[in-house]
Structure 1
């Protein structure tokens, strides 16, 4: 259990947590876990929170600055940033403006600059990696994710923590710095088992499906630890044109076993517009699939929820599982097809271990805990 990691090690320095704009909910939950696990440390430091108060105010032109309201000299600082939270706004020339990923990333740099090199160590926890989809060059184009990582390291960031990175090879951009890519596999499976009341009957005819070739790595892992079959879709794209920043998909071709009366979990790193996910689910149902579930670390739903409402109504999708690592709209949380997977305890455990400079290997590979869940021998924590 994650609780086994607590109270085992000695911190390398006083722990401080900075939650950027839009991550207040998960930062508060992480703080509560750490205060519970480290009650003696909190008492000795005479504190009731590990959070550090900061602010990134804006001028009327939209320009901003970062402010830290207490000393962080010599502290081990963890900065949590959701650069995809468009629910945060600011005034620019009198107009309410949604914060873009660029705005969030700039504020992150402002807070790092405000620390002024006085911290013992800085770790950035960025669940969904800024510009993570712009990880490779296919023509004369910018390599934004690599540049962003290098900029953070140049500013003094020692570790970068992210989840379900679109292409893990992006860490090659900063080969001498810490970069950890975690996966919500354990939390997803645990939530799925506890939510689906007929899980025992579901798992008897279960298959894992990747919506494209790029996601096969994570799907192979799920398939292996769950001991079920694997399939994939091949996306045939039109590379002669670009629509909304990407080459449009012409068709999905399925590679895998017979799907008749099978229960299917489609697994991907993110749901963007949702078109590909629903298209894949539709084709699975056409091939005789019984129930179709969706696992995605990040639910962006950047073209609305209506298509998923319709997919559920038409019996295409049973349920969608995403994490609370990024912003979720109030409307999304009301949907009967949506289930949120809480990652706050896992992130708190990562901070707990890193603050003591110990190995993260057991947190990175939860195979035994997953097998315990599937064999119904896990206790809730």
Structure 2
């Protein structure tokens, strides 16, 4: 059943309002287009009732803006009424392409700046909205989610701030440490795995792949990502392998114990297509070394699937690895900012997530379960069956 034909079984929590901050403007427009199309196409006797007021619109986007003073201080403003609305705020804390003026100098926005802007827009709602939901694909400070010694707990503090400001639900994707949700146990917190979107993009791009344990394998680049890799492997019916970092714990370099070698645990990868699964590509050094080791061990093709492609050290080394045949394709989502340089690379595939976000928003606005969306086993099974059937025909 398509989303246009979905039966309306519950009334909306309130009229839908979508507030994509400037950092998430492009993604927000795509999400809005899906919601507008679905809701205009649905047929129901209830759509003309008072409870469904504002259910059909040309756009659900509530315009907002952030004004800056010369000192760099900001002020958030909502340009339309939000009274009684079920608001969904979207923010990309990793969008470094945006700038502002600070004492005549140009400053690129940091995650701290984006989080501050999110709080400004929430504050501008001033308690008028019926419910406030935050969609933050890359969870702010998610790599600082637990304490080792005398360290700050930035992610937990940020979640507490949002809840204290009146936020009811927080949606994020592939949180670095999902247990951080324990910081706000009485509020809605969902960390979403985009595994179906990765599998769909992979099968559409590489149509000749044979998806079975004899020809393919899932690889975790480190011990911390093993749960993600096992989930991925179970969904696809494949074997899993893991690299772990052997470190020198006798010294510190840059605040960390240096890595001596990447050791591999798993079956033989000779002649197999392997998928390296991770939550993010930051500097990229880990996946680069893992790809080199896999090729040295005889892997046929190496694909990298990471939810967030940050590429903080640039693309030059990835270009070299692609030219040397170490990496065949890199898949990351459009949940965070993608530079034009990245999108132009022949080895890069952007995984579209706007429809998935629209489905989540539509379900939450109707106050219905999202468990089927969070556990997409049936959709993955259909995609794999379709792929295998196409291969048999050819």
Equivalent residues of 2:4, 2:39 under 8 A apart: no
Equivalent residues of 2:40, 2:57 under 8 A apart: no
RMSD over aligned Cα atoms: 2.1
- State the partner residue of 1:17: 18
- State the partner residue of 1:182: 192
- State the partner residue of 1:136: 146
- State the partner residue of 2:372: 362
Rounded Cα–Cα distance in structure 2 between residues aligned with 1:60 and 1:77: 30
- How many angstroms does 1:250 deviate by? 2.5
- State the partner residue of 2:307: 297
Structure 1 residues 203 and 87: alpha-carbon distance in aligned structure 2, compared to 1, 3 A threshold: farther
- 1:74-89 aligned within 5 A: 74-89=84-99
- State the partner residue of 2:242: 232
Rounded Cα–Cα distance in structure 2 between residues aligned with 1:251 and 1:2: 49
Q: Please tell me whether residue 3 in structure 1 is matched to residue 13 in structure 2.
A: no
Moved more, 4-13 or 55-64: 4-13
Structure 1 residues 121 and 239: alpha-carbon distance in aligned structure 2, compared to 1, 3 A threshold: farther
Rounded Cα–Cα distance in structure 1 between residues aligned with 2:198 and 2:8: 27
- State the partner residue of 1:100: 110
Tell me the matched-pair count: 379
Q: Please tell me whether residue 308 in structure 1 is matched to residue 318 in structure 2.
A: yes
Equivalent residues of 1:6, 1:352 under 8 A apart: no
Q: Please tell me whether residue 336 in structure 1 is matched to residue 327 in structure 2.
A: no
- How many angstroms does 1:237 deviate by? 3.1
Unaligned runs of 5+ in 1: none
1:205 to 182, 194, 215: 215
Rounded Cα–Cα distance in structure 1 between residues aligned with 2:282 and 2:203: 25
Rounded Cα–Cα distance in structure 2 between residues aligned with 1:149 and 1:113: 15
Structure 1 residues 378 and 264: alpha-carbon distance in aligned structure 2, compared to 1, 3 A threshold: closer
Q: Please tell me whether residue 255 in structure 1 is matched to residue 265 in structure 2.
A: yes
- State the partner residue of 2:37: 36
TM-score (norm 2): 0.92
Q: Please tell me whether residue 57 in structure 1 is matched to residue 67 in structure 2.
A: yes
- 1:266-281 aligned within 5 A: 266-281=276-291
- State the partner residue of 1:27: 28
Residues 268-293 of structure 1, C-alpha deviations (whole Å, 9 max, x = no match): 00000000000001001111111100
TM-score (norm 1): 0.95
Equivalent residues of 1:6, 1:349 under 8 A apart: no
Unaligned runs of 5+ in 2: 42-46, 390-394
SS of the counterpart of 2:243?
A: strand
- State the partner residue of 1:374: 384
Rounded Cα–Cα distance in structure 2 between residues aligned with 1:376 and 1:158: 39
Residues 188-224 of structure 1, C-alpha deviations (whole Å, 9 max, x = no match): 0011001113123787510000000110111101111
SS of the counterpart of 2:67?
A: coil
SS of the counterpart of 2:342?
A: helix
Moved more, 44-53 or 26-35: 44-53
Equivalent residues of 1:158, 1:178 under 8 A apart: yes
Structure 1 residues 240 and 356: alpha-carbon distance in aligned structure 2, compared to 1, 3 A threshold: farther
Moved more, 127-136 or 247-256: 247-256
Give the structure, 1 or 2, with the largest relative contact order (CA under 8 Å, sep 6 or more). 1
Rounded Cα–Cα distance in structure 2 between residues aligned with 1:145 and 1:193: 35
- How many angstroms does 1:378 deviate by? 10
Structure 1 residues 201 and 156: alpha-carbon distance in aligned structure 2, compared to 1, 3 A threshold: closer
Moved more, 46-55 or 353-362: 46-55
Structure 1 residues 241 and 324: alpha-carbon distance in aligned structure 2, compared to 1, 3 A threshold: farther
2:327 to 317, 320, 344: 317
Structure 1 residues 267 and 34: alpha-carbon distance in aligned structure 2, compared to 1, 3 A threshold: same
Structure 1 residues 81 and 355: alpha-carbon distance in aligned structure 2, compared to 1, 3 A threshold: same
- State the partner residue of 2:44: none
Rounded Cα–Cα distance in structure 1 between residues aligned with 2:122 and 2:377: 36
1:215 to 205, 214, 225: 225
Equivalent residues of 2:31, 2:358 under 8 A apart: yes
Structure 1 residues 281 and 81: alpha-carbon distance in aligned structure 2, compared to 1, 3 A threshold: same
